[in-house]
Structure 1
Amino acid sequence: MTAISLKNLDISYGPTKVVQGVNFDVAEGESFALVGESGSGKSTVLKAIAGLAPEWTGEISVLGEARSHTVDRGFATRCQMVFQDPYGSLHPRKSVDTVLSEPLMIHGLGNRNQRVIDMLAAVGLDQRFRFRFPHQLSGGQRQRVAIARALMLEPKVMLLDEPTSALDVSVQAEILNLLKRLRREQGLTYLMVTHNLPVVSFMCDRMAVMNKGRIVEIAPASALYDGNFSDPYSQSLYAASGGNPDRKDIA
């Protein structure tokens, strides 16, 4: 089954078209990356899928269901997004317990106490963090809470917008390993935005290279080891990264 399908996707901010003619499919269970320089439109694609960039045309479908331009509560049970900044994505005056319980309350789901406890354990946090506030947590702990919140409704598709770039280097590997384990254990599909090619080689099966709002190439992650890119921009991006990223850098 196709988890995410984008066809002829154009996205605008007011009169300015920032993404043009994007087409790709992500298979269920796959980890797929959008890579490219800052401003290439990567994060905008995620925002359109999540409903945060409503000025788009074309087709977006998630797990076989077409995405509309209106609010769709059911979409939250299929797909969730983890943002780049763990400091800005959590409400400063809400405890971890409140943050994790809110999705369950909104969707009328029971057994909230046990669900919160189980999800904290799943992301590597014990119960002593449950009633803390964001300012009492480290950056890595905040991002674990953000990941837990995204998983509370048991979605099968996760949109990851540079999920480790705001973290200390020492913490990045922990979060990437956590995401890799959760994908395996929960059968998740990932669409990840990153500019970090070693992250792609560690986390992803395929990648789409974006430049100036367009996809110039779709390639397997193995191209990061053999340099087998066909588009000149992809080749220059690969060369600028130093070529052949080593998984040991982040594992």
Structure 2
Amino acid sequence: MTALSLKNLDISYGETRITHSVSLDIAEGESFALVGESGSGKSTVLKAIAGLAPDWTGSITAFGKPRSHGIDGHFARACQMVFQDPYGSLHPRKTIDATLSEPLSIHGIGNQNARVEAVMASVGLDRKFRFRFPHQLSGGQRQRVAIARALVLEPKILLLDEPTSALDVSVQAEILNLLKRLRREQNLTFLMVTHNLPVVSFLCDRLAVMRQGRIVEIADVAQLKQGALREPYSRELMQISATHAA
């Protein structure tokens, strides 16, 4: 079954067109990456899906149900987003408990105490952190909170906007392993934006290469690992990534 489908998605900021006819079908349980240089439109696609870039044409559907352009509570229950900066995305004056309880209150979901404790446990956060503030946590712990906030509504799709790039290298592997485990245990579907091709190789099944707002290639991760991407621009990205990793 198709979990997330984009058809001819054109996204604009004012008079500026950011993406051009972006079309993707992502299967239920699949982990899919959008890769490309800065400014290629990757994160803008995630924002449009999440409702943060409302000026778009085309269609966005989750499990066959179309997304409206405004606030869409039904879509939010199915699809949530984890942002790049785990400090900037958390309210500095709200405890972890308040941050995790708020989505439940907004959607009228009961049994909040048990749900908060369960989601904290699922991301490896000790109960002692529940009534602390973001500044009292490490970067990795804050990103676990951000992931927990996304999961507390029990969505089936997670949008991941470079979820490890703001973290220390020593913590990145922990978060990637956490995401891999959560995907397996909860049969989650991932759409991840990243510039880090080793992360794609570790976490994803397929990838789309974006350039100047357009998808230039869709490939299996096996092709990435074998160095068998087709487009010259895709191979250039591979070379740049290899250089940075060296």
User: How would you bin the TM-score normalised by the shorter chain?
Assistant: over 0.9
Shift of 1:223: 1.5
Q: How high is the sequence identity, in percent, across the aligned residues?
A: 73
Shift of 1:227: 1.2
- Paired residue for 2:23? 23
Instruction: Give the letter aligned to residue 55 of structure 1.
Output: D
Alpha-carbon deviations, 1:154-185, whole Å to 9, x = none? 00000000000000000000000000000000
**SS of match in other structure, 1:166:** coil
Shift of 1:229: 1.3
The separation in 2 between residues aligned to 1:68 and 1:108, in whole angstroms, is 21
Residues 169-248 of structure 1 aligned to structure 2 (within 5 Å): 169-242=169-242
Alpha-carbon deviations, 1:104-136, whole Å to 9, x = none? 111111111111111111000111000000010
The separation in 1 between residues aligned to 2:240 and 2:103, in whole angstroms, is 42
Residues 1-251 of structure 1 aligned to structure 2 (within 5 Å): 1-242=1-242
**SS of match in other structure, 1:125:** coil
Alpha-carbon deviations, 1:22-47, whole Å to 9, x = none? 11100000000000001100000000
Alpha-carbon deviations, 1:49-96, whole Å to 9, x = none? 011001111111111111111211111110000000001000000000
Gaps of 5+ in 1: none
**SS of match in other structure, 1:160:** strand
The separation in 2 between residues aligned to 1:73 and 1:225, in whole angstroms, is 39
Instruction: Give the letter aligned to residue 36 of structure 2.
Output: G
The separation in 1 between residues aligned to 2:103 and 2:242, in whole angstroms, is 43
The separation in 1 between residues aligned to 2:242 and 2:116, in whole angstroms, is 43
The separation in 2 between residues aligned to 1:157 and 1:185, in whole angstroms, is 13
Instruction: Give the letter aligned to residue 101 of structure 2.
Output: S
Matched pairs, number? 245
Shift of 1:13: 0.6
Instruction: Give the letter aligned to residue 199 of structure 2.
Output: V
**SS of match in other structure, 1:86:** coil
The separation in 1 between residues aligned to 2:120 and 2:187, in whole angstroms, is 18
Instruction: Give the letter aligned to residue 103 of structure 2.
Output: P
The separation in 1 between residues aligned to 2:107 and 2:4, in whole angstroms, is 23
Instruction: Give the letter aligned to residue 49 of structure 1.
Output: I
